Amino acid sequence: MNIVIALRDQQFQLKRLLEMQLWISAMPEATLEQIEAQILATKATLAAFEQLIIEQKARMSSIMKTPAT
């Protein structure tokens, strides 16, 4: 069940990242401030995604170490 939740979170984060990428490419006339704000938002999304991956790896590692009863 935790794996399904983690995968849904990852899917949501990937969709956000793709939407941001499309937003940047669709704004050739964006100001530098707008582009910088978008880059910061993208970095925050990537950091959140990286944290989800770390947490998922930790959960999977603990599941693999837990002996079956």
What is residue 27's predicted lDDT score, i.e. its pLDDT? 64
Residue 63 per-residue DSSP state: H
What is residue 68's predicted lDDT score, i.e. its pLDDT? 60
Q: Which tens digits make up the pLDDT trace of 2-57?
A: 777 777 777 787 777 777 666 666 666 778 888 788 788 888 888 888 888 888 88
What is residue 51's predicted lDDT score, i.e. its pLDDT? 87
Predicted confidence (pLDDT) at residue 69 exceeds the cutoff of 80: no
Distance of CA 29 to the CA centre of its chain: 27
Q: Is 61:3 a contact under the CB 8 Å cutoff?
A: no
Model pTM above 0.85: no
Q: Is 49:17 a contact under the CB 8 Å cutoff?
A: yes
What is residue 10's predicted lDDT score, i.e. its pLDDT? 77
Cα distance between residue 5 and residue 69, in whole Å: 24
